[in-house]
């Protein structure tokens, strides 16, 4: 079969490589670490930095299509690559998702609500925006944040003199803190023929900025689920997207606002491995390879729990439990905050009837 190039050799790259192998594709991973956890799943690893032009050229030369597993891949080199080989998801989606100001401006521009926000470039602008909002807020770096890194909460009317500098003095965004009831995400996909599919929304719990669990179904009405899927579909269409996207929402009552988008497979979609015939990983491979998208029908209720740091040590015992699908990433040391694996508990659907995919 053809070869798929994947930029990034973390657990998402690994799971993409396994899914690709099962469809008969070969995979080449580009990662700075020859022993990255995706190496075990791929046919070859090119060792190099993500912006190493020669390494990227080598990847392009050996691949029929190139994709990426995380959103901090440098846009310039990826755009150059896209001149020689198809790159999916498209580089414009990568560029938008890399900068929280550009991302929110894009979303608001296509009519998708977000938390109210202001671009912040110095302490004075922060003072001004805090007074203007007059609520609890969150200051985030515009770029390179993940797992809640590069963020600080600011209480209403509290002093924040050193805070802007403490995030590195880099371009930032202030967001009004959304008093949400819970968080939700939609994993959706768009194929090369424009077909769009979406899995059922998951309800997500974060702890210390890191995803802790995803539960499907979430505590939402069918109407809210459809509304969330429709927003994800709008985003995919307006980006001319190909591949899987993760769209994170805050839910307050029946109101939905988008937190952020991730132009890749998403941690909150890992439950699809256990509860659906076609996982998010296979769906992404199908989309970028130009195959028909698969069904997103959900056959089980599911709870996915991340195994972060030393939590992984107790996990092997859980593998003996019925209804537990254990997935370990083959990483070495269980450092604090490091995602080592996840497990999905599956149960028969308690709503009796199966809902057709959207
Ligand atoms: P990820 O690992 O999902 O990419 P990230 O580092 O990009 O995370 P965000 O998703 O922006 O960070 O924020 C992390 C978490 O912080 C959110 O899931 C939510 O729990 C909380 N949070 C972020 N922004 C807001 C907001 N404006 N109002 C309320 N809570 C927020
Ligand atoms: Mg993020
Ligand atoms: Mg997030």
- Res 355: pLDDT: 52
**pLDDT bracket for residue 358 (50, 70, 90):** very low
**pLDDT bracket for residue 357 (50, 70, 90):** very low
CB atoms within 10 A of CB 207: 11
Question: Residues near 317 by Cβ (< 8 Å), separated by ≥ 6?
Answer: none
Element (H, E) at 182: strand 182-190
CB atoms within 10 A of CB 184: 25
- 60-74 pLDDT tens trace: 999 999 999 998 899
Q: Is 10 strand, coil or helix?
A: coil
ipTM over 0.85? The verdict is yes
Whether 270 and 214 have beta carbons less than 8 Å apart is answered as yes
For residue 183, give the ligand nearest its CA: 1
Measured in Å, residue 348 CA sits from the centre of ligand 1 at: 31
- Res 31: pLDDT: 98
Please state, for a pLDDT cut of 70, what percent of the chain lies above it.
98
Please report the atom of ligand 1 found closest to the CA of residue 100.
11
Domains and CATH numbers, the chain: 3-87 (3.40.50.20), 116-176 (3.30.1490.20), 182-348 (3.30.470.20)
Please report the atom of ligand 1 found closest to the CA of residue 149.
6
- 169-223 pLDDT tens trace: 999 999 999 999 999 999 999 999 999 999 999 999 999 889 999 999 999 999 9
Q: Tokens 């998402």, residue?
A: 12
This prediction's pTM: 0.96
Q: Residue 352: is its pLDDT beyond 80?
A: no
- Res 351: pLDDT: 79
For residue 207, give the ligand nearest its CA: 1
Q: Round to whole Å and give the CA distance between 154 and 174.
A: 10
**pLDDT bracket for residue 48 (50, 70, 90):** very high
Question: Residues near 205 by Cβ (< 8 Å), separated by ≥ 6?
Answer: 182, 183, 211, 212, 213, 215
Q: Round to whole Å and give the CA distance between 347 and 350.
A: 8
Whether 323 and 302 have beta carbons less than 8 Å apart is answered as no
Q: Where are the beta strands (DSSP E) in 240-285?
A: 243-252, 255-262
Measured in Å, residue 145 CA sits from the centre of ligand 2 at: 6
Any ligand 1 atom below 6 A from CB of 282: no
Measure Cα distances from 202 to 122, 140, 218, 222, 299 in Å: 37, 24, 6, 13, 14
Any ligand 1 atom below 6 A from CB of 138: yes
**pLDDT bracket for residue 318 (50, 70, 90):** confident
Q: Whose C-alpha lies nearest to ligand 1, atom 31?
A: 177
Whether 279 and 19 have beta carbons less than 8 Å apart is answered as yes
- 110-161 pLDDT tens trace: 999 999 999 999 999 999 999 999 999 999 999 999 888 999 999 998 888 7
């Amino acid at each position: 079969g053809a070869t798929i190039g994947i930029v990034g050799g973390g657990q998402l790259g690994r799971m993409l490589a396994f899914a690709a192998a099962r469809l008969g594709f070969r995979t080449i991973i580009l990662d700075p670490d020859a022993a990255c956890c995706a190496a075990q799943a791929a046919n070859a690893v090119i060792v190099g930095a993500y912006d190493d032009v020669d390494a990227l050229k080598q990847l392009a030369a050996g691949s029929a299509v190139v994709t990426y597993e995380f959103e901090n891949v440098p846009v310039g080199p990826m755009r150059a690559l896209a001149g020689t080989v198809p790159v999916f998801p498209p580089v414009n989606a990568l560029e938008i998702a890399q900068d929280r100001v550009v991302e929110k401006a894009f979303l608001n521009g296509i009519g998708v609500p977000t938390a109210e926000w202001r671009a912040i470039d110095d302490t004075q602008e922060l003072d001004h925006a805090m007074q203007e909002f007059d609520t609890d807020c969150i200051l985030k770096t515009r770029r390179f944040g993940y797992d809640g890194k590069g963020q600080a909460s600011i209480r209403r009317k509290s002093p924040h003199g050193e805070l802007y500098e403490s995030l590195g003095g880099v371009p930032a965004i202030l967001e009004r803190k959304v008093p949400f009831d819970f968080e939700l995400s939609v994993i959706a996909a768009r194929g090369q023929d424009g077909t769009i599919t979406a899995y059922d929304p998951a309800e997500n719990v974060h702890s210390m900025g890191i995803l802790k669990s995803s539960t499907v179904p979430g505590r939402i009405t069918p109407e809210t689920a459809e509304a969330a899927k429709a927003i994800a579909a709008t985003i995919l269409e307006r980006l001319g997207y190909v591949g899987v996207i993760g769209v994170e929402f805050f839910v307050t009552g029946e109101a939905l606002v988008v937190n952020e988008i991730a132009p890749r497979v998403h941690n909150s979609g890992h439950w699809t491995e256990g509860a659906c015939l076609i996982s998010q990983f296979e769906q992404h491979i199908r989309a970028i390879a130009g195959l028909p998208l698969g069904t997103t029908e959900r056959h089980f209720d599911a709870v996915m729990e991340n195994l972060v740091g030393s939590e992984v040590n107790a996990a092997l015992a859980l593998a003996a439990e019925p209804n537990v699908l254990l997935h370990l990433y083959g990483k070495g040391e269980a450092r604090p905050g490091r995602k080592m694996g996840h497990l999905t508990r599956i149960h028969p659907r308690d709503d009796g009837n199966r809902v057709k995919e959207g």
